[in-house]
Amino acid sequence: MIENIKNAIIRFKRSPAFTGFALFGFALILNIIIRGPAVFFSAQSMGTLFSKNAPIILVTMAQAVLLITGTLDISIGIQLALVNVVVIMLPQELGVSIPVAWLIGILVSLAISAVGGFLVAVLRIPSLLATFALTFVVMGINVLIMNVPQGSVPKAYYSTYDSLLFGFLPVAALMILGVALIWAVVKRTKFGKHIYAVGADPKKAFAAGINPTGTIMKAFLFKGFITGIAGIALTLMIASGNPLQVESYGLKSLAACIIGGLGFGGWGSMASGVYGVGFLVLIQNAVYYFFNFLQGTIVGFQITSYWQNFISDLIIMLGLLMTTVTARGQREALKQGISRQIKRGDKHAKES
Amino acid sequence: MQKSLKKDHVTVIKIQSFIKTNPAGMTFVIAILLLVLTFILRPNSLNTNTFSSIILLTMLLSFAAAGQTLVLIGGGLDFTVGAVMSSAAVMTTFMMQGQDGKLLPVLGVVLLIGLVVGVINGISTVKIGLPAMIVTMAISNLVARAQYLFAADGKSLGYAGPSFIRSVSYKFGGIVPSIIFYAILIWGIMFYLLKRSVFGKQLYLVGDNKEAAKLSGIKVNKIIILSYIFSGLLSAFAGMLGAAYMTVVSAQVFDRYAFQSLIAVIVGGTALSGGVGTYTGSIAGAFLMVVLSNGLTALALPDPIKNISYGVIMILLLFAYNRTSAVRE
Amino acid sequence: MISIKGVNKSFGTVVALKDARLEVKEGEIMALLGSNGSGKSTMIKILSGLYNPNSGSVEIDGKKVKIKSCVDAHNEGIATAFQDLSLVPTMTVIDNLVLGIEPLGKFGLLNRVKAVRMAKDILDRLGVVCDMDAYVQTLPMSTQSMIEVAKAILLKPKVLLLDEVTASLHHDEIQLLFNLVRELKAQGIAILFVTHRMGEVFELSDRVTIMRSGITVIDEDTSKLSMDDIVYYMTGKRPDAGKAEINLEMKEERELILDVKNLKQSKVRDISLQAYKGEIIGIAGLQGQGQPTFIRTVLGLMKPEDGSIIYKGKQTHYKSPENGIKNGMGFISGDRNKESIFQHRSIEENIYAGKAATQNIFKYVTVKEMKQFSLDAINAYKIVAGNVKDPATSLSGGNQQKLVVSRWIALAPDLLLLDDPTKGVDVHSRREIQQILRASALKGMTVIISSSENEELIEISDRIYVFYEGEISGVLKKEDMSMEKLVAAQMGMTSEGNGV
């Protein structure tokens, strides 16, 4: 019995999501300690946590899919802003109804993702550079659509977003769950398997009769769909429009995925990204509340936001360092197939 | 008719092979063309000020690109170029306080910053199994924050020393800025490092095939760490010179040089994957970036149009220069 | 039946195929032979859709077809088992087997039950025993090769291309594979297989096509050809009967260069080996018995878990290959592309690589120095090269390997370690490399060479250590080397005559 538990733990340790999970767990515990379980798990605190962070979480999930295929998209942040301005300006300037505006917002996100996918999959420009260049283009487009921050969202919409279903389930969390479920299904389709094959080795995938170009393109479109939803969440969160916001979400989502263990293509899962972004978000929260607490209890203690950011960046850097420890364990497992063998109870003694 | 067709065909092949074998030259040609185009569209931008500022900015960017070239050839990527430059610039103005005679101590401190960051970069990239981009990005964040210790509220606390400023921006004949002497120095260092030293030879081998390099007896980690150290030192030096150019320096002033240097190096013919590249190419790439930026500003386009044009042109350049290989040959 | 005519293919300035042709009929087993640089691998890659020919036409059952991708090839009924495996290492066996032909169930989701059935069926026919959910990367090479073949057969092809699939297989596995191939032949499938092993050609094939320098030289019934004929068509020369003289003189006092005692490191369980100055020590054994691990541990790439290595009289505590190399070792790998050749660098730089590795990193090297060094090597070892500034990949495989050999010999190491250096190298280059090694040994260099070619080892070694399951199962001295003894030791059968 103990053997089984031990094996299960070892197996989990070697799975791709463990890296991020460990860090996420650490950050979670930190939050619980600093704020107290009652406060932290209260409906209000959970609600805020999800509604404020749904955009970055969703965007990280989208980024995770790209990373599995071996590509990435730095412009994903500014694309959020694109959806935001479209969704605000359409009702405002053209009287389009809000649900239709949302639909068009998602279509726009798909369109710009198609462009990104075209650059990366068809023109074969390295994704880091191509999407960096794309950032400029999207920035320009955003300002052309909306030149200064403006706009509003009807209260009915954004208060629903902020609210809690049945008193405890944040609407924002449902959005995240929805996307996660969609991914769970996609993973079990041909397309899902092809994403992993292409990410691991495009040449071998091609030899197996898969079209890497098509697969990467579809992955970008899938990312565009999730980004569209994230853009709507962002709009509801800030209840207004801003053409040049959240550009940093591009690099942030990338860092979150890497922290979660998605360093190389063809390996890992969306869960890794979720753990990674959970870690980032919770650490920043923890630092913020910790300094609040200090400022509250120690008279005359002042700390600028620069220092808060410095400390959270430092912890994040340490988190990156941690991933090497856990990631190395994963890669070894991959090489030695221990996880499989332990699961089957085989006595194939460790060959290496 | 047949004969002239053949001649055209031969010319096309000649141009194509020129592009393939001489990316630096090609970049240079494109830059000149863009410059000429700018003058045609905006004749009043054709003056000595424009020329000298183009040369100055090209030099500055190429100093930043120097370190980046080394790191990229070795197969890595240095995101801290911008943050180090900014820190060096901030430190320079902080220490000089507008006075002369502090050149050597400032140089010492600035190079120390570059060295320390370079060492951290190198060791982290080598020991942590993560992509260099992410590791150096994280370090860049930290360095960017640390600057604020020396620049209260983001503004620097002084200026660079006057004679130092003059050594950078004095213009010979009203056009050629004296920064060109520094450029020659850096060019000499890069020439030695990349083309004549054993380090350079090992660096290319490491970037081309790390495993084979290791099995040939090369200390792969040492070479990679050294490339980051050189990059740190060069970026710091570039930042110091940048402080002289800008006169008023604020924190994170040169941060965008991280991506700028990367694009300049790639457009100059160095591959993201490593193992190929030249400094001459990076200089040409820097020239192209500066000309492009200058051109868009001279045309006085509204910001969003400028951004879109910049992005689109960058995409075109990247398409021409740096594509991954096709799955089917 | 498949026929390909008038095929031309160049990679930049290198001409790989020139008006080449190939034809395999239904129910026929055709062997495709040729040295490196002959174009046979290019031919296979064109047929399988991986390469795009500059010109040429492919006909299947008399109908012209266009193959623009691997998908096209599959649709036309062509399946390939590749030499360098088309399996995705980080995916499971079953995912790999059905990759591209995934059976679908409800709502377009994968039907795992059906996939398992498909996989089990073919794996059983090939006698492969493995966990279907194991990651391919974790399985031994021979199993991976069999899975690669299984994957091709699952496509139910009309034409089956087997590209050097037997390289990693055990004798029994090869027999199982051949039996299956004969079954497929009886079903009317056209089979084309590429191999370097003469024995297989005569055992399995009905006809033989031989290529040389990008041209199809001949295709003929196997029964009408002799071994010498085949070598003649492959190389353009009659195989030389003159084998180089064997140096039987054993000096009395010889320096013990390498003394390995009870080495333990992953696959190596307990190996003891001695090498004296000027000796050529052969390491024989089936694939995966620990030979590459042994060599790399001596070099310093891996640290021994137990045991000791005494090199030139001193215990070694190497942390990386650079330690071994600094102390006079050299290493030549059989996997050129991964471990020896710098593909984007010029021939000149590739030759100079070894020297570059051993000098002080701040030393100044002139253009002339490097050029002279590489020209000397090219002349000394008769490397066929154009301009030294061309990329190393412009050389043929055999010449690339000669380049690597020259890179090391030029540094005059005391101990040269070779891990299957002539794998996939043509007969001619192979002989030249052997001559170079012999000449160097006469000058005092000690050579340890691991090889999968027993004939080669018998021809060149002073002594042969046979590896079996991580231990030495036999040591053969020059006087009592024979193929039977070697094979017996490889199978683990030790007998009195083999002193260990």
Residue type, A167: G
Q: Hey, are the CB atoms on A335 and C88 less than 8 Å from each other?
A: no
Q: Which two tokens stand for residue B25?
A: 């030259």
Q: pLDDT grade, residue A337 (50/70/90)?
A: very low
CA angle A70, A71, A72 (to 5 degrees): 135
Q: Which two tokens stand for residue C42?
A: 């290019």
What is the per-residue pLDDT for A61?
A: 95
Lowest mean pLDDT among A191-205, A251-265, C199-213, C240-254: C240-254
Average pLDDT over every residue of A143-161: 85
Residue A7, domain member (yes or no): no
Residue A3, domain member (yes or no): no
What is the per-residue pLDDT for A28?
A: 87
Domains along the sequence of chain B with CATH: 31-37+52-321 (1.10.3470)
Share of chain A above pLDDT 70, in %: 86
Q: List, for chain B, all residue ranges whose pLDDT scores fall below the cut of 50.
A: 1-4
What residues of chain B have any CB closer than 8 angstroms to a CB in chain C? 192, 196-199, 201-202, 204-205, 208-209, 211-219, 223, 226, 275-276, 328-329
C453-484 residue pLDDT tens: 777 888 889 999 988 878 888 888 887 777 76
Q: Please check whether residue A258 is in contact with residue A279, taking contact to mean a CB–CB distance below 8 angstroms.
A: no
The CATH number assigned to the domain holding A126 equals 1.10.3470
A 10 A CB-CB count for B17 gives 11
Which of A189, A196, A340 is opposite residue C109, by nearest beta carbon? A189
Structural domain of residue A27, as residue ranges?
18-351
Strands C2-11 and C256-265, how do they pair? unpaired
Mean pLDDT of chain B: 83
Q: Which two tokens stand for residue A298?
A: 């120690």
C240-282 residue pLDDT tens: 443 334 444 554 567 888 888 888 887 788 889 998 888 999 9
What is the per-residue pLDDT for A339?
A: 34
Q: Is the ipTM of this complex over 0.95?
A: no
Domain ranges of chain C: 2-235, 256-491
d(CA A99, CA A97): 6
Interface list for A 173-202 with B (CB within 8 A): 202
Smallest CA-to-CA distance from B274 within B216, B209, B226 is with B209
What is the per-residue pLDDT for C385?
A: 78
What is the per-residue pLDDT for C35?
A: 67
φ, ψ of residue C32 to 5 degrees: the values are: -110, 115
d(CA A332, CA C442): 43
Q: Hey, are the CB atoms on C344 and B276 less than 8 Å from each other?
A: yes
pTM of the model: 0.80
What is the per-residue pLDDT for C480?
A: 77
Residue of C nearest to A184 (CA): C109
Task: Enumerate the residues of chain A whose CB falls inside 8 A of the CB of residue C70.
Answer: 206-209
Which of A125, A147, A258 is opposite residue B322, by nearest beta carbon? A125
Q: Which two tokens stand for residue B104?
A: 């050597």
* Cα distances (Å, whole numbers) of residue C379 to C411, C434, C444: 16, 17, 22
**Helix (H) or strand (E) segment spanning residue C363:** none
Decide: helix, strand or coil at residue A287. helix
Strands C280-284 and C446-450, how do they pair? parallel
| Architecture per CATH, C2-235 | 3-Layer(aba) Sandwich (3.40)
Q: Which residue has the higher pLDDT, A253 or C286?
A: A253
Secondary structure letter of residue A264 according to DSSP: S
Residue A251, domain member (yes or no): yes
Residue A96, domain member (yes or no): yes
- Return averaged pLDDT per consecutive 10 residues of chain C, 500 residues in all: 89 80 92 78 88 89 88 91 85 89 82 89 88 85 90 92 84 89 93 82 91 86 83 64 43 76 85 90 80 90 88 87 89 85 89 88 88 88 81 81 88 91 77 89 91 82 86 83 72 46
Selecting from 3.30.70.20, 3.90.1150.10, 3.40.50.1000, 3.40.50.300, what CATH number does the domain C256-491 have?
Answer: 3.40.50.300
Q: Which two tokens stand for residue C365?
A: 């090297």
Q: Which two tokens stand for residue C142?
A: 């021979």
Smallest CA-to-CA distance from B66 within B320, B224, B249, B236 is with B236
Which other chains touch chain B, taking contact as 3+ CB pairs less than 8 Å apart? A, C
Residue A10, domain member (yes or no): no
Taking the Cβ of residue B90 and every Cβ of chain A, the question of whether any pair is shorter than 8 Å is answered with: no
Q: pLDDT grade, residue A41 (50/70/90)?
A: confident
Q: Which residue has the higher pLDDT, C247 or A249?
A: A249
- Predicted confidence (pLDDT) at residue A79 exceeds the cutoff of 70: yes
Per CATH, C2-235 and C256-491 having the same topology is answered yes
Q: Please check whether residue A132 is in contact with residue B77, taking contact to mean a CB–CB distance below 8 angstroms.
A: no
For chain A, the domain total comes to 1
What is the per-residue pLDDT for B175?
A: 65
Q: Please check whether residue B182 is in contact with residue C346, taking contact to mean a CB–CB distance below 8 angstroms.
A: no
A309-321 residue pLDDT tens: 777 778 877 777 7
* Cα distances (Å, whole numbers) of residue C220 to C20, C58, C162, C182: 15, 20, 19, 19
